[in-house]
Amino acid sequence: MHIRHLSLTNFRNYGRLELDLPLGPILLHGDNAQGKTNLLEAIYYLATTRSPHADQDAQLINWIAAQSEEPIVVCRLVADVAAAAEKRQIEMRLIQEVNLSGRNGGRTFRREALVNRRKVRLMDLLGKLQVVQFLPEDMQLVTGPPGNRRRYMDITLCQIDPIYCRQLSQYNKILEQRNALLRRLAEGRGKRDVLPIFTEKLIKLGSEIFRRRAMFLANLARETHRIHYEELTEGKETVRLGYLPRLQENGGRRADELIALEQLGEWLQSHVDDADAVQARFEQALAAALPTDMVRCTTSVGPHRDDWRFWINGRNLASYGSRGQQRSAILALKLAEIHWMTKISNETPVLLLDEVVAELDEHRRALLLTYIKELHQALLTATDPGMFTKDFLRQATTMAVENGRVIPDKI
């Protein structure tokens, strides 16, 4: 799929942008702080309803507009998307209203999503524009905290699988209810016979999430391994993704725990079609954890504590891998993600590459560029277009980004 037209109002440093986007690779170049990253962020936000950079969505509203005296400020993102079978328009609105009564600091913030000009739930926007994003920060997937890796799984899966997305959101609500109930019980309020109700729902939804993640990671692992082995290291190194489902309480020596969780991950991957077995296992784990959970007033097992990990030649990539090895693994993962999305949805995703090309050596850069040629559309940024080969620049559309304006280069 590809974006035919992008329109931004009051988004970051774009007061107003109307931009036609062609097929093929698009190179956005320009000095620092001109709006290259912001443009990719807008596209990613439309696809996922999340920003990779802002801690709060209100930060996305153009600050001059946000600080104006206007009673209502709307930041609007609209994309005309051409998918294989249909054309669609998707839109997000971030709305800031000043309420004079002065509650909440006098400002309220809300979001709206539209598909073909009809309001939908935010969740229903996911999948309407599919993207794969690759940022320098993605190295954090190897070394960062588990939350990063869960978020990556969730955002990627939600773009492809609306049922997963729905189940995940219900799971989180039930989890919140169950934890609140555990707190009430600890305080001597509430009734114990309500607990099974929330526990059973948690088991149903949670085991679906376990199964879908196990399937996803198995698919992604296979392709990541292939690309890494065949195309990046000429058969010298093997990379493996290990799922670490939180189907067992945290405890014991870290190394032993990792082995146990890894085994559970393998067990899950061989039982992805056996919903009953997964449910029974999750039920067992919850029951075993209940005494400590009652004391801590929280649910210590379940997909909300999942993790996964890279292994390089049988060792933990985060602790033993060199920077170069980590970079290759992430590149292989991203290329595998493109492959997986294309296979499942019969659509090629739009690829968003912010700066990463500059960080790759020649061999890896060349590989990435061959993948880009297979896609309908890819947006790349660089401060210096000189790092691209003449051949690539001939095929790409280049555009200059200057202070919140985008000017296609003359050919």
* Partner whose footprint covers residue 320, from ligand ATP, another protein, Mg ion, none (CB < 5 to 8 Å by kind): none
The binder of 34, among another protein, ligand ATP, Mg ion, none, by C-beta within 5 to 8 A per type, is: ligand ATP
* 3 state DSSP class of 115: strand
170 vs 342, beta carbon nearer another protein: 170
Strands (DSSP E) found in 54-124: 72-82, 87-98, 107-115, 118-120
Contact 36, 356 (CB under 8 A): no
Residue with Cβ nearer Mg ion (36 or 211): 36
37 binds Mg ion (CB under 5 A): yes
Residue at 248: amino acid letter: Q
Could you tell me the smallest distance in angstroms from the CB atom of residue 130 to another protein? 18
Residue 296 neighbours by CB under 8 Å, 6+ apart: none
Residues 317, 325 contacting (CB under 8 angstroms) = yes
Identify what 63 binds: another protein, ligand ATP, Mg ion, none; CB under 5 to 8 Å per kind.
ligand ATP
Q: Does 85 bind another protein (CB under 8 A)?
A: no
Query: Smallest distance, Å, CB 233 to ligand ATP?
Result: 30
Ranges within 124-163 binding ligand ATP (CB under 6 A): none
Q: Is 189 in the site for another protein (CB under 8 A)?
A: yes
Q: How many CB atoms lie within 10 A of CB 18?
A: 11
Q: How far is the CB of 388 from Mg ion (least distance, A)?
A: 17
> Using the 8-state DSSP alphabet, how is residue 232 labeled?
I
Task: Give me the least distance between CB of 177 and another protein, in Å please.
Answer: 5
101 part of the interface to ligand ATP, by CB under 6 A: no
Check binding of 13 to Mg ion (CB under 5 A): no
Stretch that binds ligand ATP, among 56-64, 140-148, 302-310, 341-349 (CB under 6 A): 56-64
**Spatial CB neighbours of 89, under 8 Å, sequence gap ≥ 6:** 78, 79, 80, 81, 114, 115, 116, 117
273: nearest Cα among 208, 227, 336: 208
DSSP 327-389: HHHHHHHHHHHHHHHHHHHSSPPEEEEESHHHHS-HHHHHHHHHHHHHSSEEEEEES-GGGS-
Of the pair 7, 167, the CB lying nearest another protein is at 167
- Tell me: does residue 190 bind another protein (CB under 8 A): yes
The nearest distance, CB 37 to Mg ion, in angstroms, is 3
Among 7, 9, 48, 62, binds ligand ATP (CB under 6 A): 62
Two tokens, residue 366: 């060349």
Angle (deg, nearest 10), helices 146-160 and 162-186: 140
Residues 32 to 51: which contact ligand ATP by CB under 6 A? 32-38
* Shortest Å distance, C-beta 180 to another protein: 4
| Residue with Cβ nearer another protein (118 or 363) | 118
CA-to-CA distance for 62 and 166, rounded, in angstroms?
31
Q: From CA 186, how far away is CA 192, in angstroms rounded?
A: 10
Among another protein, ligand ATP, Mg ion, none, what does residue 117 contact (CB within 5–8 Å per kind)?
Answer: none
The binding site for another protein (CB under 8 A) comprises: 99-103, 124, 162-163, 166, 170, 173-174, 176-178, 180-181, 183-184, 189-191, 193-194, 196-198, 200-201
